[in-house]
Structure 1
Amino acid sequence: MTPTRAPQHIYCGIDTHADTHHAAIITDTGILLAHRQFDTTSSAYDAVVEWIHQHGHPISVGIEGTSSYGAGISRHLRHHHIAVVEVPRPNRKLRRSEGKSDPIDAEAAARAVLARHQLSEPKHGDGPIEAIRALRVARSGAVKAATASMNTIRSMLVTAPEVLRTQLRGRSTTALLDACIALEPDTAAMTDPVNATIVALRSLAKRTRELRREAQELKKNLAALVK
């Protein structure tokens, strides 16, 4: 009887982008077997797994950007029990000599895995740590937007009609927001700078108040997760 031949060991590299990924496969002796482009969809991720197993037994897959464009494919490969490592960006010397192309970058990622060159453990992108990251990004955006909106209010008051400056100057942030929201414009006289400024200040104050409320709610969620 002819003995069954064991699948050859292979290494894969993936060059990631927003809409497509390019993958390359090499043997454990450095021979390029194949490269192929895939879309960034769930069905395409299944196709990546199937394509890799068609060429042999995957030892590891090197991906550039496992916490950005490569997050989805990284999670999918780990779910199918395929080891994933983070690889560095292709060196500039290689890009100058061979040019920038997805197949070249994917192959370079595979060769970095084979050589164990500057590899690092990728972030898993799941569990409470990923949940904290997502909420922190949202809260940071809300805080920045609220600060920008509040700064716009104070800047507008510098050049506002004197009647509004006199009414609103010297107030704390909370008191200023309350006062701006309480202003009543005459919408039938929008050509009057006073009324137009009142409408603008009310809009900015309501926006700031809502953003501050949103940031506070996200902070509570973060505190619960951290605890």
Structure 2
Amino acid sequence: MIVIGVDAHKRTHTLVAVDEVGRKLGERTIRATPDGNMEAATWATRWPQVKFAIEDCRHVTRRLEADLLTTGYQVVRVTTQLMAGQRRAGRERGKSDPIDALAVARVALREPDLPVARLDGPSREAKLLADYRDDLVTQRTRVCSKMRWHLHELDPELQIPSRGLRRRCVQDQVEQHLAGMSGVVAQIARELLSRCRELTVRINQLEKQLKQLVQAMAPQLLDIAGCGVLGAATIIGETAGVDRFRSKAAFARFTGTAPIPVWSGNSSRVRLNRGGNRRMNCALHMIAVTQARGIGPGKDYIERLQTDGKTRTEAIRLLRRRISDVVYRTLKAIDTTNSTDQSCLAPDLTT
């Protein structure tokens, strides 16, 4: 098996091919265009068995991954942390595109369980829509904050409920209150109110679209106590295929719920894991907090841990890890069901 490491950039991609023991066989630089990607696929045909290893840059390498997968090549992703160690161990000093591409290829030879790239599917649609909605929510929060300052200047006695500016009834009341006011401050407040209305409408539309995606892809996630549409959409989008995780422990490392051991001698302790995918970690944390309030089995579990001497914070962390395992099993069951359905639809070639 020949491994071709790729160091990707916006304008060019550098390719380095190595054999099974890591010896450099060839080097090529192509343009980061569809024609350049096809040139890379053609260049790889000189070897009978080829696997591409690409530095994980997602948006920079997405088109290259799709073109290589379409032509039938296997593509794996290499994280930058693994590359850094390989560069330090290399004989050639310095940093350049060929050196980085060589490091990517050798890491792919050394690491057997690298994430495998796949063609984009509905899970990426869920991620894009969820990210876009979060951006709009951030914009709305900023608009509402500015509008509150202007409203306080216009009328300090005006009382607006917390998070009330996102509700249509409150928006109508504020609009009526501003109708009889003149001046630049009132003008800006009306424009901000109009922008807040537009953002709220679009946010609600995106949430409905996400609900349809979740119900079509993984409705079982909604059966988990405390998991709503937005949390399920985040889980689907960030997981991007549960089959790329070999176990629930690997999935817990990805979600940042696996504790880090910090023990020595007779003491045995663990530390909070601040790594992993923070969006996934946030989604699981919201499920844990919701269950801790009495929705689902989490409240009894936390009370039992507190009785055993755990603090509430430690109990929430342990509950978050258990929820990570539940999510992993749910996604695996969905993936197994979908695979079975596809096999039933496949033609029987044995007769």
Q: Quick one: which of 4, 11, 15 aligns to 1:19?
A: 11
Contact kept, 8 Å, 1:67 with 1:125, in 2: the verdict is: no
The corresponding residue for 2:93 is: 98
Say whether residues 1:63 and 2:72 are aligned partners.
no
Give the letter aligned to residue 143 of structure 2: S
CA separation of 1:197 and 1:103: change in aligned 2, threshold 3 A: same
CA separation of 1:179 and 1:26: change in aligned 2, threshold 3 A: same
SS of residue matched to 1:223: helix
CA separation of 1:123 and 1:156: change in aligned 2, threshold 3 A: farther
CA distance in 2, matches of 1:170, 1:137: 28
Q: Deviations over 1:155-193 (max 9, x none)?
A: 3333x13xx334x4345423443244453488xxxxxxx
CA distance in 2, matches of 1:123, 1:105: 20
CA distance in 2, matches of 1:28, 1:41: 29
Say whether residues 1:51 and 2:46 are aligned partners.
no
User: Any unmatched runs of 5+ in structure 2?
Assistant: 216-351
Q: Quick one: which of 2, 7, 11 aligns to 1:10?
A: 2
Contact kept, 8 Å, 2:136 with 2:199, in 1: the verdict is: yes
Give the letter aligned to residue 141 of structure 1: D
The total of aligned residue pairs comes to 206
Contact kept, 8 Å, 2:53 with 2:75, in 1: the verdict is: yes
SS of residue matched to 1:91: helix
Contact kept, 8 Å, 1:85 with 1:121, in 2: the verdict is: yes
Report matched runs for 1:45-194 at 5 Å. 45-54=37-46, 56-65=47-56, 67-89=58-80, 90-92=83-85, 94-95=87-88, 98-115=93-110, 117=111, 119-158=113-152, 160-161=153-154, 164-166=155-157, 168-170=158-160, 172-173=164-165, 174=167, 175-182=169-176, 183-184=178-179
Higher radius of gyration, 1 or 2 = 1
Contact kept, 8 Å, 1:86 with 1:119, in 2: the verdict is: no
Contact kept, 8 Å, 1:24 with 1:106, in 2: the verdict is: yes
Contact kept, 8 Å, 1:22 with 1:38, in 2: the verdict is: yes
- TM-superposed deviation, 1:106: 0.5
CA separation of 1:120 and 1:30: change in aligned 2, threshold 3 A: closer
Contact kept, 8 Å, 2:44 with 2:50, in 1: the verdict is: no
Q: Quick one: which of 176, 195, 201 aligns to 1:207?
A: 195
CA distance in 2, matches of 1:180, 1:38: 58
CA distance in 2, matches of 1:195, 1:95: 64
- TM-superposed deviation, 1:63: 1.0
Higher strand share: 1
CA separation of 1:107 and 1:185: change in aligned 2, threshold 3 A: farther
The corresponding residue for 1:195 is: 183
CA separation of 1:113 and 1:153: change in aligned 2, threshold 3 A: same
How well do the aligned residues superpose, as a CA RMSD in angstroms? 2.4
User: Any unmatched runs of 5+ in structure 1?
Assistant: 1-8, 187-193
CA distance in 2, matches of 1:143, 1:27: 49
- TM-superposed deviation, 1:66: 5.4
Q: Deviations over 1:56-90 (max 9, x none)?
A: 12431111115332222112111111111111321
CA distance in 2, matches of 1:88, 1:16: 13
Contact kept, 8 Å, 2:86 with 2:107, in 1: the verdict is: no
The corresponding residue for 1:3 is: none
CA distance in 1, matches of 2:86, 2:24: 21
CA distance in 2, matches of 1:125, 1:67: 12
- Percent of counterpart pairs with the same letter? 26
CA distance in 2, matches of 1:214, 1:31: 54
Give the letter aligned to residue 195 of structure 1: G
CA separation of 1:52 and 1:179: change in aligned 2, threshold 3 A: same
